[in-house]
Amino acid sequence: MTKLLPSPFSSLLAAVFISFISIVHCCSPKDQTALNAFKSSLSEPNLGIFNTWSESTDCCKGWYGISCDPDSGRVTDISLRGESEDAIFQKAGRSGYMTGSIDPAVCDLTALSSFVLADWKGISGEIPPCVTSLASLRILDLAGNKITGGIPAEIGKLARLAVLNLAENRMSGEIPPSLTSLAELKHLELTENGISGEIPVDFGSLKMLSRALLGRNELTGSIPGSMSGMKRLADLDLSRNHIEGPIPEWMGHMKVLSVLNLDSNSLTGPIPGSILSSSGFGSLNLSRNALEGPIPDVFGSGTYFMSLDLSHNNLSGRIPDSLSSAKFVGHLDISHNRLCGPIPMGSPFDHLEASSFSDNQCLCGGPLMKTC
């Protein structure tokens, strides 16, 4: 069989194709310009993570914390964490510290899917409102800094957003109404800011949400009834706010809710029996409220609490005998209430210390060493 030799034209086509492939793999010039502007607004003096961000090198090849789409050469990820097990941190033997602000040039990275600039402690200023134009963004994590201002009003435009973490900053203002339109949101963390106002009445529209961590803010109002329809919610933290009203009965019927922190609010009324009889909770903290009435006598063989804290309320009556029939109670704190009568015998009471029962009206027996 006769071999066909490559023609000069086919060789030229191959060369052009290979050249095209190499061009596609290069960093987009527009993205490289945007990253350089982004870097110019930040200062990281200890680790030298920006040393690899040289204008003379390709941002897709070796720039620390930068990832690109291999086909288009567009920047898809910025991943810069100030607390990491990365070798650069281990070699320095320290966590990171970075100052400066977020330059709006980051919004020119229109293919960005993940934007992580977290735990640097010193980054300040506001979140540029234009970040809501990053239509491909799935992760926005700016936790652990000194960012001020509010959550961008049009945050709901980020239709693909799955993770929003703005915890441990100095942010203020209210939760914008548009946030509840984030249909893909799975993880929301706003812990330890100065966010005020009420939780949006339609917060339950976040059907995909599994973690809602809103503790240590200035939130007011009551727990929205729409949250009863959040079938995927497993972890809810509203602690250290100014939430008022009763604890809704439906909270004990949420199928996957396993961690509930409502401590240090202004909640009133009785503890719903559905919450204490549920077999789904692993950790429940209702301490430091104004809850009253007896502890519901609803515990059973399916009750399993790694931690149950009902301390610093106005609970009265006896410790329910059914608590001793619980499958497991690891940590129990019912101190600083108005409970009375003998402490039941057996588990979990036989492994608890007196501090779990202190400062009640007239409890006796057990670890208190008071004769009934």
pLDDT digits (tens, 9 = 90+) for 16-52: 333 333 444 589 999 999 999 999 999 998 888 899 9
Can you give the pLDDT at residue 145?
98
Q: Does residue 325 contact residue 300 with C-beta atoms inside 8 Å?
A: yes
Query: Which residues of the chain are under the pLDDT cut of 50?
Result: 1-24
Rounded alpha-carbon distances, angstroms, from residue 365 to 130, 315, 337, 342, 371: 63, 19, 16, 5, 6
pTM exceeds 0.75, yes or no: yes
Question: Which two structure tokens, joined as six digits, stand for 95?
Answer: 């966590």
